[in-house]
Structure 1
Amino acid sequence: MKKALITGGGGAIASEIATRLDKRGYSLILADIDEARMATVAQSLSRSAVAIRADLSTAAGVAALATFIETEHSDLALLVNNAGYVEPGDAADLAPEVLERHIAINLVAPMQLASVAARLMRARKSGDILSIVSMGGIIALKGSAAYAASKFGLRGFQTSIRSELAPHGVRVMGIFPSGVDTPMLRYEAQHSSGSALNFVGKVFTAAEVADACMSALDSGKLETYVPYGDSVTSRLAGAFPWMIEKILPMFEKAGEKGRAKFRAERGI
């Protein structure tokens, strides 16, 4: 039976991914700092899952999970880097430890875990590494500089290792969603510095992101966008950063209307 490890394993997107992988016959390993949330996800699956507490904001926590993979689950077939963190606010106003936390959870942890997984998978000539990146890894916006830095870095890392691992039968894929209805987005919806751009157009469900993950596993594509249309605008603006300041006010106005609607519909 193939094994898959999902970081942030107690979260909304992780729960949906776990359900789909469970149906595909994977044996699941969940890693999260919140043991209660993991237990809820594990109980929803058709077969027993391994749940390990992991604090990916610390070097020791990442190292412990990496060692666990290497020593206890060296036959890992799929790594899903799903854990994420965001604290909205101007970079000048965020404490150094908050800036560092973005990089630790969103970039360093997936890099370290992918490195271990790559070593094991390369030796076996098979395996998949899938990361939940973000549309924020394509276009950088005010109020999310640290988040954008971490996601831009993750996009670059996965693009590089894909080329390194392809000759060895190991696939590397990334999912780039725009706004997704998760506790993280609901926190941003209420935060004065939360990006209004998350609420331009449709807010996607965790289930839709999980479906995109399954499509990526089926196709093996490097990047899967949710939705594709948003990626066109984001990639264009990302290629010409000077455009962002010019178009941002228009999109922010639409986003604030979307935020108000999102909050009203969910009673937050």
Structure 2
Amino acid sequence: MKLKDKTAIISGGSRGIGGACVELFAQEGANVVIGDVLEADGQALADKLGDKVVFKKLDVTQEESWADAVATAEAQFGGVDILVNCAGILTFNHVADLTAEEVRKTLDVNLYGTIIGTQAVIPPMRKRGAGSIVNISSTDGLIGSNAHAAYIASKWGVRGFTKAAALELGLENIRVNSIHPGGVDTPLANPMNEEREEYNKRFVTFAAQRACDPTEIAQGVLFFASDDGSYCMGSELAIDGGLTAGLYYYGHPGAPDIKFG
């Protein structure tokens, strides 16, 4: 019960990594406000988990929507101790073909939503005298890759914002840290809903040789959210099966047995 009597707001909490965090936090004793635009999924998860979990529609790009989520947490559970900024979108496109709309929407949801979400919970956390904010960035916030330049820009932004916020809010015992997932089997990353065995084949270049389950990311989020991470401020945790560890020289000892051509 690492989060006993704590209250968390989890954006993007209806499914995927956010949904896994909601379930784990509830198991660990937290009250949870699920914030998401996916109302049916969010309400179904809240109904499944009982009275300690409520759903509140949350558009992370709107300050009023964040204010409503905070008000719900205070009215239902008395305050806010934890924020998990997990809401995000991902589009695949060549950098030359990106539209202004794609770029703006990606930055609005992934980066701007994280910034104003953080701002929204500062007053209630100040009332508590402490708090923990966990920002879900990505391995694409640590390295680059092809096909989603706008997403990468947003996640590098989340990483940088986390550092700045950690320095300022750490003085008030509000800890801010970032998680960097890679290769996770979620509706965002696996939009074709491939079976896990088939999906795993996409990760044969990873040391783990498989995709990650969202519950594995949730465990890292729990670490930062709980007192286990009490000395972490501006820290970043890559949960990525070795993606950011380095490169393999294929055909040499210690590399996966992959045949090319």
TM over 0.5: yes
**1:23 partner letter:** Q
Aligned to 1:65: 65
Q: 2:238 aligns with which of 219, 222, 225?
A: 225
Distance 2:92 2:22 in 1: 28
After superposing the two structures, state which structure 1 stretch, 110-119 or 151-160, moved more: 110-119
Decide whether the 8 Å contact of 1:179 with 1:199 is kept in 2.
Answer: no
Q: CA RMSD in A?
A: 2.7
Matches within 5 A, 1:41-120: 41-56=45-60, 59=61, 62-74=62-74, 75-120=79-124
Q: Assess if the C-alpha contact under 8 Å between 2:9 and 2:73 holds in 1.
A: no
**CA offset digits 1:46-72 (Å, max 9, x no partner):** 43422112233xx4xx21222214544
CA-CA distance at 1:7 after TM superposition:
0.6
- 1:44 aligned counterpart, secondary structure: helix
Cα drift, residue 186 of structure 1: 1.3
Shift of 1:123: 4.4
Of 155-164 and 43-52, more deviation after overlay is shown by 43-52
Q: What CA distance in whole angstroms lies between the structure 2 residues aligned with 1:72 and 1:176?
A: 29
Partner of 2:198: none
Conservation of the 8 A alpha-carbon contact between 2:139 and 2:240: no
Q: Contact 1:131–1:175 at 8 Å: present in 2 too?
A: yes
3-state SS of paired residue (1:187): coil
* Residue 205 (structure 2) pairs with residue 200 (structure 1): yes
Cα shift at 1:128: 0.7
> Shift of residue 188 of structure 1?
7.5
**Identity score, percent:** 26
Asked if the contact 2:11–2:36 (Cα under 8 Å) also holds between the matched residues in 1, the reply is yes
CA separation in 2, counterparts of 1:26 and 1:93? 44
Matched AA of 2:239: V
Partner SS for 2:88 = coil
Which 4+ stretches in 1 moved above 4 angstroms?
A: 196-199, 247-250
Partner of 1:173 in structure 2? 177
Within 2, Cα distance between the matches of 1:165 and 1:65? 23
Mapped pair 1:31 → 2:31: no
Asked if 2 retains the 8 angstrom alpha-carbon contact of 1:69 and 1:76, the reply is no
TM-aligned CA deviation for residue 93 of structure 1: 1.1
State the alpha-carbon separation in 2 of the partners of residues 188 and 199 from structure 1: 19
* Corresponding position of 2:218: 210
Deviation at 1:112, TM superposition (A): 0.4
Higher helix share: 1
Matched AA of 1:225? A
Unaligned runs of 5+ in 2: 195-200
Query: Does 100-109 or 18-27 show the bigger shift?
Result: 18-27
Q: Is the 8 A contact 1:125 1:168 kept in 2?
A: yes
Count of residue pairs the alignment pairs up: 231
Q: Indicate the larger mover: 13-22 or 199-208.
A: 199-208
Deviation readout 1:11-44 (Å, 9 max, x if unpaired): 1212211111112211110111111110221123
Taking a change above 3 Å as real, the CA distance of residues 159 and 138 of structure 1, as seen in their structure-2 partners, is: same
